[in-house]
Amino acid sequence: MLDLTPAEAEYLEKARNFAIENVAPHAQKWEDERRMPIETLRAAAKEGLAGIEVPESMGGGGGRFRLRIRIAEEVARHCFAFSFSLINHMSLAKKISQDAPAEIAKRYLPEMLAGEAIGCTALTEPDAGSDFAAITTLARKVSGGWILNGEKAWITNAAHADLMFLYAQTDPPAGWRGVAGFLIDAREDGVTRVPPFQIMGGHAIGVGGFKLEDHFVPDDRLISLPGDGFKAAMGGVNQARAHVSAMCCGMTDAAVELAADYTSNRAAFGGHISDFQGIRWRLADARTDVEAARLLTEQATRVIEDKGNAELPAAHAKKFSARMADRHLKECMQAMGAAGLRREYSLGRQIACARIANYVDGTTEIQNERIARALFARKK
């Protein structure tokens, strides 16, 4: 278990209580309404959960990356999609506090920490996902700034986001070396919000997109220079994969607990369902895999905190955890029989989110490619 300082432990407890009181009772309703709960995300920010990695001198909590990981897991016990939304908002707040010029941070950070402006990261495009170097959103240099044109898709929080860290190509012939990162204010002219996507589940994630048409961005909102943008994106993706891994641990562990409680109380054949070895071992296997997934998540987290190369640790963690959640959430539902289908339980909603986990921040197949590339490189 990733250890925390006393101050970080207080933040984790605050997040745990917030999730129990404000997420768990409403998660199914959000899904029924197929919407992103902007009011709850704003409430989380007002509780101080938006700035846990922002320095205290800038109004944040000054916590480490591991705190964000622990919070991601805790909130995902109740709703993976809301946890993903919250983490994405946190990530931009940290980015601004860490990389933006002082005047830009002073302008935008307070409203993010107060939940008055919601953040997102705009990387994926309709025709460019894991092949990040293939993005076509173009940034053209003009006097005093840049003109951006293009479209972004599959963006978490896009349904309500006001601010985005957007990756654009400044020099197409240069490939990845031309990619830069800009802070975009979606409330300005030239930015159009695409209606939220209707997907099979996890609507609290608020996924959608944006179109940029001759949108002007001043020079002081170029946060990652051409070439550095690609490196920043890869570092951000590794962190995101660790988040997803932690969230899979949270929702799967909660499902195991639910199934264990239900089968321990469901009478059958003169005893309880939990008396049958087939049920007991199925849930025991699930618990073992959750523990293994946590260890992989912790390994990736430590490498990220140490500023090492986290590509492989993050790939291992996300691949294993997403597959683990996919498998064991269904096993937990099976252990509960037809009762597992009932909307009063979270299993169906979380099974849809396990599918999401296998796609976001690089598919499971992409993780395999990263791992295989490193494996076979040693053979040459």
Per-residue pLDDT reduced to its tens digit, 57-111: 999 999 999 999 999 999 999 999 999 999 999 999 999 999 999 999 999 999 9
CA 299/CA 238 separation, integer angstroms? 12
Residue 93 and residue 109 share a domain: yes
**Contact, 148 vs 137, CB < 8 A?**
yes
pLDDT score recorded for residue 44: 97
Residue 132 and residue 13 share a domain: no
Residue 371 and residue 250 share a domain: yes
| Within a domain: 1 | no
**Contact, 208 vs 196, CB < 8 A?**
yes
Residues 223-248 have pLDDT tens digits of 999 988 778 888 889 999 999 999 99
| Within a domain: 285 | yes
Is the pLDDT score of 268 beyond 80?
Answer: no
Residue 271 and residue 218 share a domain: no
Q: Which of 118, 153, 186 is the endpoint of a domain?
A: 118
Q: Which of 182, 207, 227 is the endpoint of a domain?
A: 227
Question: What helix, strand, coil percent values describe the chain, rounded to 5?
Answer: 60, 15, 25
pLDDT score recorded for residue 91: 95
Residues 182-236 have pLDDT tens digits of 999 999 999 999 999 999 999 999 999 999 999 999 999 999 999 887 788 888 8
DSSP codes of every residue in 198-216? --SS-GGG--EEEEEEEEE
DSSP 8-state symbol, 219: G
Residue 214 and residue 144 share a domain: yes
Question: Under 8 Å CB-to-CB from 142, ≥6 apart: which residues?
Answer: 216
| Within a domain: 54 | yes
What is the mean pLDDT of the segment spanning 10-15?
Answer: 96
Residue ranges making up the domain that contains 294: 229-377
CATH code for the domain of 31: 1.10.540.10
Residue 353 and residue 257 share a domain: yes
Residues 116-174 have pLDDT tens digits of 999 999 999 988 766 777 889 999 999 999 999 999 999 999 999 999 999 999 999 98
Residue 158 and residue 81 share a domain: no
What are the E-state strand segments in the chain?
A: 119-122, 138-142, 145-155, 163-169, 179-185, 191-194, 208-218, 222-224, 267-268, 271-272
Helix (H) or strand (E) holding 348: helix 347-357
Is the pLDDT score of 380 beyond 70?
Answer: no
Is the pLDDT score of 30 beyond 90?
Answer: yes
> Residue 238 has which token pair?
């590794």
> Residue 141 has which token pair?
């240099």
> Residue 338 has which token pair?
């037809």
Residue 95 and residue 140 share a domain: no
Question: Under 8 Å CB-to-CB from 16, ≥6 apart: which residues?
Answer: 74
Q: What is the overall mean pLDDT for the chain?
A: 93
Q: Which of 100, 118, 136 is the endpoint of a domain?
A: 118
Residues 307-342 have pLDDT tens digits of 999 999 999 999 999 999 999 999 999 999 998 889
Q: Alpha helices of 119-227 — where are they, by DSSP H? A: none
What is the mean pLDDT of the segment spanning 367-377?
Answer: 91
Residue 235 and residue 373 share a domain: yes
CA 353/CA 343 separation, integer angstroms? 15
Name beta bridge partners: 150.
Answer: 212
The rounded Cα 208 to chain-centroid distance in angstroms is: 15
Residue 87 and residue 206 share a domain: no
The total domain count for the chain is: 3
